[in-house]
Amino acid sequence: MSRKVAVFWPGDYRAKPNEWALPQSRETTRQLFLALEKLGRSPYLVEGYLTRPDDAIRKLGPIDDPMVGVFVHWTYAPHTVDGVVGKDNPLLLSSNFSGTWPGLVALLNTGASLESVGRHASRIWSDAPDWTADAGFMERLDEWCSTGQIAYDSSEIHASASVSSDAVAIADRVLAQIKRKRILALMLGDTSMGMINGYFGPRLLYPIGFSEHKVDQAWLVDRARSIQPGRIDAAFQFVREKGVTFHWGEPDAEDFTEQATKEQLRGYLAVLDLMDEFQADCLGWQYQLGLLNLLPPSDFAEGLLNSHARPETNGHPIITSTEADQGNLVPMELMKRILEASGQPGAVMFHDVRWGAMHEGRFLWVLLNSGSCSAYAFNHDVDSLRGVHSYRQPSGYFPVPGGTFAGVSLPGPITWARAWIDREGELVMDLGRGESVELPEAVRESWWRGTTRQWPFMAADLGCSPDTIMAHYMSNHIAVAYGDIFGEMLSLSLALGFRVRVWSSG
């Protein structure tokens, strides 16, 4: 492999997050240069953040040297993928494994996106103050420098597992239901922020019993205007009576008011009307990059849709995948149906795999997203919104004020899942058992404030080592349900034609 190594900075499309991340990018690059130089390599930096696909094409496309991407904050996958697809020079994705800046989240999304288009890449990460003193990191980096790739242990990933006859029977009932009437997903736009791995499209959805109907998000601007004030007032009264705590007017959120929440409820009701018009079963709602200056953030509405207790409810949640991510939407809808077929509440949580650390002898992941988690996670009560807190979404990302749908997830056994596209273009379902863990308040607050305090929080043991997740997991998103429905999901996924990967240390 060439002694020269190109180091590049994938970036956000928005200028402010890149500005905030600049100190981390510089420090991580310094650490990476020292590590590469210690191994006899000659690293050089590709100038500036790659903030658009054309940046990646123009700056990375001509490079034939081995390349390392530095992921220390949220970045869009095309800002790497579009510059390296169709090439075969060694590619490494590196992260500083920090919760404050979601670099590892971007690494996981970009790695999955590269996989879905058949471009090989390796992954590496460290949280050490001095990367050259991290023996495991240096050993992996040396392997990449020598061979152009890193081989990771995969002993915790299995092709199958035993399933009880009761689980098979429930899965068969859900399968028959899908065969009688295929599932229709209403898609408000395509996946957001370059989540290449999260769009399946009809060719992959049809064989697994799903269809999609795309609605341009611009409809929301018009449809929201037609919502009658009486419906908004009733919805506002509902969420207050059901127990939501609103953090209006707090420091750094002075513009977050009752009216801001009402505008979010206006959007919720407009989407509810669209779901009814098209008789859709579930919803993918794109992150509103193009609407950021026109509408409030969608997170509070998404959290309500994912909850049983919601304005104008039919008693069931409407599974909603933020960022229009079909890789989460599909398993969430299947998990909901399995839960309901077994007599349980059909609540499924949407999260980012944000960061993790050791606590009392085991590694726990911090799972949190911008606010589309079900209220059930916070109270285990289908008739209540108690435990839900709505904080202003950070103004640096969301100029129009609006709240999140946050809370502390209750402890208990969980089943988790994720669907993704492999390099052959086939669908894979990842499945695992785990546990949502209650942390001491001081630990929870430290971890939460070290990530994004305004967003819903879960500390989770995913049933396998953190290295297995970092090396092999094909997304930044994860679907989580309380209880053990692992066998049912395994049986149903196989019956629908997925290749299945079972994640377990046992």
Residue 159 domain flag? no
CATH code of the domain in which 182 resides: 3.20.14.10
435-454 burial string, b = 16+ CB within 10 Å, else e?
bbbebeeeebeebbeebbeb
* Last-in-domain residue among 147, 175, 192: 147
Q: Do 77 and 175 belong to one domain?
A: no
Average pLDDT taken over every residue of the chain: 96
Q: Do 134 and 280 belong to one domain?
A: no
Q: What are the angstrom distances between the C-alpha of 29 and each of 37, 76, 92, 280?
A: 12, 19, 13, 47
Residue type, 95: S
Q: Do 178 and 139 belong to one domain?
A: no
Count other Cβ atoms within 10 Å, centred on residue 426. Answer: 12
Q: Residue 437 CA to chain centroid, in angstroms?
A: 20
Tell me: pLDDT of 281 over 90: yes
Residue 420 domain flag? yes
Q: What are the angstrom distances between the C-alpha of 64 and each of 59, 87, 166?
A: 11, 8, 55
* SS3 at position 383: coil
- Percentage with pLDDT > 70 across the chain: 100
Residue 302 domain flag? yes
| Domains identified in the chain, total number | 2
Residue 158 domain flag? no
Q: Do 138 and 228 belong to one domain?
A: no
* Last-in-domain residue among 83, 112, 147: 147
Tell me: pLDDT of 302 over 80: yes
Residue 46 domain flag? yes
Residue 154 domain flag? no
Q: Do 56 and 189 belong to one domain?
A: no
Rg of the Cα trace of the chain? 22
Residue 160 domain flag? no
CATH code of the domain in which 14 resides: 3.40.50.10940
Q: Do 387 and 342 belong to one domain?
A: yes
Residue 212 domain flag? yes
Q: Do 328 and 466 belong to one domain?
A: yes
pLDDT tens, position by position, 121-144: 999 999 999 999 999 999 999 999
Give the pLDDT score at 198: 95
Q: Do 143 and 204 belong to one domain?
A: no
pLDDT confidence tier of residue 288, bands split at 50, 70 and 90:
low
Q: Do 314 and 212 belong to one domain?
A: yes
Q: Do 135 and 268 belong to one domain?
A: no
pLDDT confidence tier of residue 333, bands split at 50, 70 and 90:
very high
Give the pLDDT score at 372: 86
Give the pLDDT score at 2: 86
pLDDT tens, position by position, 468-494: 999 999 999 999 999 999 999 999 999
pLDDT confidence tier of residue 287, bands split at 50, 70 and 90:
confident
Region 407-429: mean pLDDT is 97
pLDDT confidence tier of residue 28, bands split at 50, 70 and 90:
very high
pLDDT confidence tier of residue 335, bands split at 50, 70 and 90:
very high
Q: Do 138 and 173 belong to one domain?
A: no
Give the pLDDT score at 31: 97
Give the pLDDT score at 289: 74
Nearest to 63 by CA among 86, 96, 95: 86
Give the pLDDT score at 190: 84
Region 156-174: mean pLDDT is 97
* Last-in-domain residue among 120, 147, 174: 147
pLDDT tens, position by position, 224-263: 999 999 999 999 999 999 999 999 999 999 999 999 999 9
pLDDT tens, position by position, 87-115: 999 999 999 999 988 999 999 999 999 99
Provide the residue range defining the domain that includes 371: 165-503
Give the pLDDT score at 191: 84
Give the pLDDT score at 503: 98
pLDDT confidence tier of residue 396, bands split at 50, 70 and 90:
confident
Instruction: Tell me the helices (H) and strands (E) count for the chain, helix number first.
Output: 16, 19
Name residues whose C-beta falls within 8 Å of residue 462's C-beta, 6 or more positions apart in sequence: 365, 416, 432, 434, 469, 503
pLDDT tens, position by position, 439-467: 999 999 999 999 999 999 999 999 999 99
Q: Do 181 and 294 belong to one domain?
A: yes
